[in-house]
Structure 1
């Protein structure tokens, strides 16, 4: 987890539990478990993300209401915790560690804990992102709840009182961000990290482990259908270790003796509209570096070959063949710079070189953008191609330009492209409409 710097004198002071808290409210310590538990928390040695997430902020505020001194301590504690909470729930490296820990809890505790589905959803809900049960409970994002607690406590006490007391924490946005950086490991943050993490956590919380049976990750699969399975799969690949193209290792038995290997299995969609689905499986095939393990993963299909390093032409041939047998569509590559991905370039080179690969690819190709590889394959397969809409010509020419630019000895002529493997493409214009003709010297 994160390497935490020594507690500063300022933080130590701001989160100290007030000695007169119980007396000021006229109640005993035993009657204030929520308030006193919260005030004893700090962002370092007494930090527990699940415990912070379990705090009932409404009950906390009610217990503190009426005493400005206590309200100030609540705000100081919340402000001290917030940067650590944000770092832990946003940095993919830290998020990954938390998800692995919770998966281990699920594996060990859920089979024998009869209260699992009653208590754990409350403790884990909203930890990374908003949790919602259709027609039921809604758990706001933890960082949002803490921010709301600060604002409500300030309002209950009066901002003027805070300023007179010398409190300015809520107005120090830049300082709070600096503390967040202190707790973060600084890894890049995929756009969907928090949503994907919360969907996975909600699936674990709602379903105890049932022996060795796979756990369908229903909420994660539903999120993928709504937001794109390709991007969700790539986010998972940032959080967990990719083994082949369809398995992501969550728990490795080498590091957790007595625990079966636990992996997220990605099942490719049968059509473009459905999206991939996800299961948590035990003892799944692990790519230990052996060709057999890698081949087993490849044969089972793929939802995110675009992120896989070292994807070869042979790998693409196997994958396209398998997807065709199962009548499953290949997910499109991410739209952000797809031509910058090695796997994309390897596939395109294969399409230029082999007619059989073009035929297999067109059978399983995605619909929509990026459309360059699909349009290129159609042109090379037919020899003559007329776009259905004019913008398709622009997409095709962008692909042709990129191929030709990669050939160092190629000199571009307007309306003509040399693509390698003996291929040349010529643009033809008739009645202001473009069409294209492709020819190969080798007779491909």
Structure 2
């Protein structure tokens, strides 16, 4: 789509943790009839045998970056926050090249520069090679204890303040381009840019979304839209929205019948909505939860479940059918845990893990693991599975072969990244670097 700055493939995850999703096996039945993919054979019960891999290095981070989807790494250097320092370390050795006191974890970067927020809420730019400060500036917005964030969008550095407001800076000079102190961005912030329209969002009373369309050059509001909507990605010259029913009806004392999935197309130029389709009638939306949405072309992969039954069912919806075609259910493969990504979706059955190639329905067995899953990710031809015992298993995504396991000592880890054959694992206490070897 011309002028679109959104990713072609975008995934939204629900607020509930993976451990809550993995409680039930097998998953319960559909609430409505649906076309089903061909079933796979029963999952492998062979115990996983994986050699122990010792980290190349590790560094204490006190959980900094645990919930970020951004891993700052440039030209063989990785950057992290350690005891109120910004640290630059060699990717393969962990050797510290430089550090900056009172520096925070980078939230944005260019080819040779890093941007972070200081403890005094200044926006700071440093040279990624030396750590030398290039400029710093105080945003013209009151500080917020709820949080402030930086993001590079279409060549502009945006500072969002959950207390109130958004400011835009020239990332080269630090010059203020504009500020808007009237935007309530609680639990939100910049989403992306669509042509000349900057999309930002906030949350109203912890219940509903407030989307704004701003003039990207001036920061002035062009339109706003209030409602329980999540943006899933680009679709037919606009944006695909899903009605977040859990937000809309969570306070109701009576059963609320409706559709499990209700989709709309948003015109980013004027904020107008048009219906796309409604799918799967249910008797009470209050007990339904949406965990993940993956938009791939005209197909939406959605993971939903009944809170009373603890299930998580992956389904595929054909958006071009205008709601007339039944969704394809993958319930028979087990409880969803990850994907689709790289043409693969992952499912669990107890402590067993299988992969399904969505193109042809063939499966990959990863085996049976010694503890429950806490998080599973597909990245760079790898499957990375974290277990409740603090171990992380790394497998070849395409073959199921175990590459190795890492004893992290921590029960929680965040979004992993692979750089130059090194797997970076942020945990609740530290950052680990692991050589993953040939895959």
TM-score interval (norm. to shorter): under 0.3
Which has the bigger relative contact order, CA under 8 A and spacing at least 6?
2
TM-score (norm 2): 0.23
TM-score (norm 1): 0.23
